[in-house]
Protein backbone atom coordinates (compact mmCIF):
# COMPACT_ATOMS: atom_id res chain seq x y z
CA UNK A 1 0.00 0.00 0.00
CA UNK A 2 1.28 3.45 -0.97
CA UNK A 3 1.35 6.38 1.40
CA UNK A 4 0.31 9.66 -0.21
CA UNK A 5 1.80 12.77 1.36
CA UNK A 6 -0.36 15.81 1.68
CA UNK A 7 0.99 18.84 -0.29
CA UNK A 8 0.93 22.28 1.32
CA UNK A 9 1.41 24.49 -1.84
CA UNK A 10 4.78 25.88 -0.81
CA UNK A 11 6.06 25.68 -4.39
CA UNK A 12 3.14 27.81 -5.59
CA UNK A 13 3.81 30.49 -2.99
CA UNK A 14 7.54 30.63 -3.83
CA UNK A 15 6.77 30.82 -7.56
CA UNK A 16 4.31 33.67 -6.99
CA UNK A 17 6.88 35.59 -4.89
CA UNK A 18 9.55 35.14 -7.58
CA UNK A 19 7.11 36.27 -10.27
CA UNK A 20 6.25 39.38 -8.22
CA UNK A 21 9.93 40.24 -7.69
CA UNK A 22 10.68 39.79 -11.41
CA UNK A 23 7.69 41.97 -12.33
CA UNK A 24 8.94 44.76 -10.05
CA UNK A 25 12.42 44.56 -11.60
CA UNK A 26 11.00 44.74 -15.15
CA UNK A 27 8.72 47.70 -14.33
CA UNK A 28 11.59 49.55 -12.63
CA UNK A 29 13.91 48.96 -15.59
CA UNK A 30 11.33 50.15 -18.09
CA UNK A 31 10.56 53.34 -16.14
CA UNK A 32 14.30 54.07 -15.88
CA UNK A 33 14.61 53.65 -19.64
CA UNK A 34 11.74 56.07 -20.25
CA UNK A 35 13.32 58.67 -17.94
CA UNK A 36 16.70 58.28 -19.65
CA UNK A 37 15.07 58.67 -23.05
CA UNK A 38 13.38 61.91 -21.93
CA UNK A 39 16.67 63.21 -20.53
CA UNK A 40 18.49 62.40 -23.76
CA UNK A 41 15.81 64.09 -25.86
CA UNK A 42 15.93 67.21 -23.67
CA UNK A 43 19.72 67.33 -23.90
CA UNK A 44 19.52 67.02 -27.69
CA UNK A 45 16.98 69.86 -27.93
CA UNK A 46 19.10 72.06 -25.64
CA UNK A 47 22.16 71.43 -27.80
CA UNK A 48 20.23 72.32 -30.96
CA UNK A 49 19.03 75.54 -29.31
CA UNK A 50 22.63 76.40 -28.33
CA UNK A 51 23.90 75.77 -31.86
CA UNK A 52 21.05 77.81 -33.29
CA UNK A 53 21.84 80.71 -30.94
CA UNK A 54 25.55 80.60 -31.80
CA UNK A 55 24.87 80.56 -35.52
CA UNK A 56 22.44 83.48 -35.20
CA UNK A 57 24.96 85.43 -33.13
CA UNK A 58 27.65 84.94 -35.78
CA UNK A 59 25.29 86.00 -38.57
CA UNK A 60 24.20 89.09 -36.63
CA UNK A 61 27.84 90.08 -36.01
CA UNK A 62 28.68 89.74 -39.71
CA UNK A 63 25.58 91.73 -40.71
CA UNK A 64 26.38 94.43 -38.15
CA UNK A 65 29.95 94.83 -39.39
CA UNK A 66 28.84 94.97 -43.03
CA UNK A 67 26.53 97.98 -42.52
CA UNK A 68 28.08 101.44 -42.56
CA UNK A 69 28.13 103.17 -39.18
CA UNK A 70 25.96 106.07 -40.34
CA UNK A 71 23.34 103.76 -41.86
CA UNK A 72 23.41 101.59 -38.76
CA UNK A 73 22.99 104.50 -36.37
CA UNK A 74 19.85 105.62 -38.22
CA UNK A 75 18.17 102.33 -37.26
CA UNK A 76 18.35 102.90 -33.50
CA UNK A 77 14.94 104.10 -32.41
CA UNK A 78 14.38 101.76 -29.42
CA UNK A 79 12.16 99.59 -31.58
CA UNK A 80 12.28 96.87 -34.21
CA UNK A 81 15.30 95.09 -32.73
CA UNK A 82 17.55 98.16 -32.50
CA UNK A 83 17.77 99.65 -29.03
CA UNK A 84 19.92 102.06 -27.08
CA UNK A 85 21.61 100.43 -24.11
CA UNK A 86 19.56 100.37 -20.92
CA UNK A 87 21.28 99.06 -17.81
CA UNK A 88 17.90 98.05 -16.36
CA UNK A 89 17.04 95.83 -19.32
CA UNK A 90 17.32 92.22 -18.13
CA UNK A 91 17.74 89.99 -21.17
CA UNK A 92 18.75 86.88 -19.24
CA UNK A 93 15.11 85.99 -18.55
CA UNK A 94 12.89 84.85 -21.44
CA UNK A 95 9.83 86.67 -20.02
CA UNK A 96 11.61 90.01 -20.40
CA UNK A 97 11.73 89.49 -24.16
CA UNK A 98 7.93 89.78 -24.38
CA UNK A 99 8.09 93.60 -24.32
CA UNK A 100 10.75 93.81 -27.03
CA UNK A 101 10.34 93.86 -30.77
CA UNK A 102 13.18 91.51 -31.64
CA UNK A 103 14.61 90.63 -35.02
CA UNK A 104 13.93 87.06 -36.15
CA UNK A 105 16.79 84.97 -37.43
CA UNK A 106 16.62 82.95 -40.62
CA UNK A 107 18.42 80.05 -38.89
CA UNK A 108 16.24 76.98 -39.11
CA UNK A 109 17.03 73.82 -37.19
CA UNK A 110 14.55 70.99 -36.77
CA UNK A 111 12.66 71.23 -33.49
CA UNK A 112 13.85 74.76 -32.74
CA UNK A 113 11.87 77.97 -33.08
CA UNK A 114 13.68 80.59 -35.16
CA UNK A 115 15.95 82.49 -32.76
CA UNK A 116 15.30 86.15 -32.02
CA UNK A 117 17.85 88.84 -31.29
CA UNK A 118 18.29 92.50 -30.52
CA UNK A 119 21.15 94.87 -31.13
CA UNK A 120 21.91 97.53 -28.55
CA UNK A 121 24.09 100.56 -29.09
CA UNK A 122 26.32 100.89 -26.07
CA UNK A 123 27.36 104.23 -24.54
CA UNK A 124 30.46 105.83 -26.03
CA UNK A 125 33.69 104.43 -24.67
CA UNK A 126 36.94 106.30 -25.07
CA UNK A 127 39.78 103.95 -25.90
CA UNK A 128 43.48 104.59 -25.98
CA UNK A 129 45.54 103.00 -28.68
CA UNK A 130 45.14 102.18 -32.35
CA UNK A 131 46.80 105.51 -33.09
CA UNK A 132 50.26 106.81 -33.93
CA UNK A 133 49.83 109.61 -31.41
CA UNK A 134 50.54 108.33 -27.91
CA UNK A 135 47.60 108.67 -25.47
CA UNK A 136 45.34 110.15 -28.08
CA UNK A 137 41.84 108.93 -27.20
CA UNK A 138 39.84 107.51 -30.06
CA UNK A 139 36.10 107.11 -30.00
CA UNK A 140 34.71 103.71 -30.90
CA UNK A 141 31.13 102.55 -31.06
CA UNK A 142 30.26 99.32 -29.33
CA UNK A 143 27.18 97.23 -29.96
CA UNK A 144 25.82 94.40 -27.88
CA UNK A 145 24.00 91.61 -29.68
CA UNK A 146 21.77 89.37 -27.58
CA UNK A 147 20.26 86.21 -29.03
CA UNK A 148 17.59 83.94 -27.57
CA UNK A 149 17.00 80.48 -29.04
CA UNK A 150 14.21 78.33 -27.68
CA UNK A 151 13.72 74.61 -28.15
CA UNK A 152 10.52 72.62 -27.89
CA UNK A 153 10.77 72.33 -24.09
CA UNK A 154 10.68 75.10 -21.50
CA UNK A 155 14.14 74.25 -20.21
CA UNK A 156 15.74 74.34 -23.67
CA UNK A 157 16.44 78.07 -23.82
CA UNK A 158 19.79 79.61 -24.67
CA UNK A 159 20.60 83.28 -24.40
CA UNK A 160 23.96 84.44 -25.76
CA UNK A 161 25.55 87.86 -25.97
CA UNK A 162 28.39 89.37 -27.91
CA UNK A 163 29.92 92.82 -27.91
CA UNK A 164 31.09 94.16 -31.26
CA UNK A 165 33.40 97.15 -31.70
CA UNK A 166 32.85 99.15 -34.86
Higher-confidence residue of 86 and 3: namely: 86
**The model's pTM:** 0.74
Q: Which neighbouring-strand residues pair with 84?
A: 121
Residue-range domain boundaries for the chain: 10-165
pLDDT in tens, 80-126: 899 999 999 889 888 889 888 999 998 888 878 899 999 999 987 66
From 164, 165, 131, 145, select the one nearest 57 (Cα to Cα). Answer: 145
Query: How far is residue 125's CA from residue 141's CA, in Å, rounded to a whole number?
Result: 7
Helix ranges restricted to H, 67-161: 69-73
The pLDDT assigned to 2 comes to 67
Report the chain's mean pLDDT, rounded to a whole number. 85
| DSSP helix/strand/coil, 79 | strand
The pLDDT assigned to 130 comes to 58
The pLDDT assigned to 136 comes to 52
The pLDDT assigned to 79 comes to 82
Going through 20-136 in order, the beta strands assigned E by DSSP cover 82-84, 103-104, 116-121, 125-128
Amino acid sequence: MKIIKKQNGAVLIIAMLMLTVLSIIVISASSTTVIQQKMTTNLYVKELARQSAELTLQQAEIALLSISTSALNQRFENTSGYYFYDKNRQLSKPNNWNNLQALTSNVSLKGIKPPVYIIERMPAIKTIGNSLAFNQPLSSTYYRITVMAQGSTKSAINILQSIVKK
